Amino acid sequence: MCPIKIILADDHKLVRQGMRALLEVHPGFEVVGEANDGQEALVLMEKLCPDIAFMDVMMPNLNGIEAARIAQQRGLKTKLIFLSMHTNSTYVVRALQSGVMGYVLKDSDFSEILQAIENVLDNKRYLSAAISNEVLEILINADATKNDLLDILSTREREVLQLIAEGNTNTTIAEKLALSVRTVEAHRAHIMAKMHFNSQTDLVRYAIQQGMIAS
């Protein structure tokens, strides 16, 4: 029987090392790659075609939720599980809407990791018990799906939004995304206009609220 191929995406190396150690002593699992951010995770998913990717929500350059959205748009078959310290139910709902199959808290027992893997391989969702009830309430009331301003931005604009919120200059963003500075400036202007932001502070505050960057 072929092992279940897994990649780990987290900007903390110790977290990746800890997960690798726990998974690789368990029969049937093979960690085939590690990524420091969402962009690297997407590259690994396309190159290695893993069965499962464990990703953090908060990562630099491209966060986990946006990476999940892009993976879904590209039709990648890797099943995604978020491993996060964030219990904010809005993050969890956005993750599920982005195609993520599981959301496990980092302080969970390893048995929850195993249960999440079993569920998603069987095409079933898995949420840590500590957050499942609150998320269900949000989905029932549909509060998380109303007036989501992010929906009016393109995928590229979402990437630029995160990089701006992280404090990158237009030149740095252009280098990271292989764009011209003028194109980045245009994206910045479109974002500010579409979102009705009056300042950089408004933009950063919104990015924090949406779980794109840490506060």
From the list 76, 97, 86, 80, the residue with the least C-alpha distance to 8 is 80
How many domains are there within the chain?
2
Q: Are 100 and 24 in a shared domain?
A: yes
Q: Are 10 and 38 in a shared domain?
A: yes
Q: Are 66 and 124 in a shared domain?
A: yes
Q: Which of 143, 161, 189 is the last residue of a domain?
A: 143
For residues 34 and 24, give the distance between their C-alpha atoms in angstroms, rounded to a whole number. 13
Phi-psi region of 6 (alpha: psi -120 to 50; beta: other; left: phi over 0): beta
- Answering whether pTM is above 0.85, one says no
Q: Are 41 and 120 in a shared domain?
A: yes
For residues 134 and 127, give the distance between their C-alpha atoms in angstroms, rounded to a whole number. 11
Q: Are 94 and 163 in a shared domain?
A: no
Q: Which of 104, 122, 143 is the last residue of a domain?
A: 143
Is 144 a residue whose pLDDT tops 50? Answer: no
State the residue range of the domain holding 194: 149-209
Over the chain, what is the mean pLDDT? 90
Q: Are 103 and 166 in a shared domain?
A: no
For residues 95 and 130, give the distance between their C-alpha atoms in angstroms, rounded to a whole number. 16
Q: Are 92 and 188 in a shared domain?
A: no
Helix (H, G, I), strand (E, B) or coil at 127: strand
For residues 69 and 200, give the distance between their C-alpha atoms in angstroms, rounded to a whole number. 25
Q: Are 154 and 197 in a shared domain?
A: yes
Secondary structure (DSSP) of 17-36:
HHHHHHHHTSTTEEEEEEES
The answer to the question of residue 214 being in a domain is: no
**What per-residue string of b and e applies to 83-98 under the rule 16 or more CB within 10 Å gives b?**
bbebeebbbbbbbbbb
| 80 DSSP assignment | E
Q: Which of 143, 168, 197 is the last residue of a domain?
A: 143
| 79 DSSP assignment | E
The answer to the question of residue 181 being in a domain is: yes
Q: Are 112 and 189 in a shared domain?
A: no
Each residue's pLDDT tens digit, 77-135: 999 999 998 887 778 888 888 889 999 999 999 999 999 999 999 999 999 888 877 77
Q: Are 30 and 62 in a shared domain?
A: yes
Q: What CATH number does residue 87 fall under?
A: 3.40.50.2300
Q: Are 129 and 101 in a shared domain?
A: yes
Each residue's pLDDT tens digit, 155-193: 999 999 999 999 999 999 999 999 999 999 999 999 999
Is 7 a residue whose pLDDT tops 80? Answer: yes
Are 116 and 102 in contact by the 8 Å Cβ rule? The answer is: yes
Q: Are 92 and 180 in a shared domain?
A: no
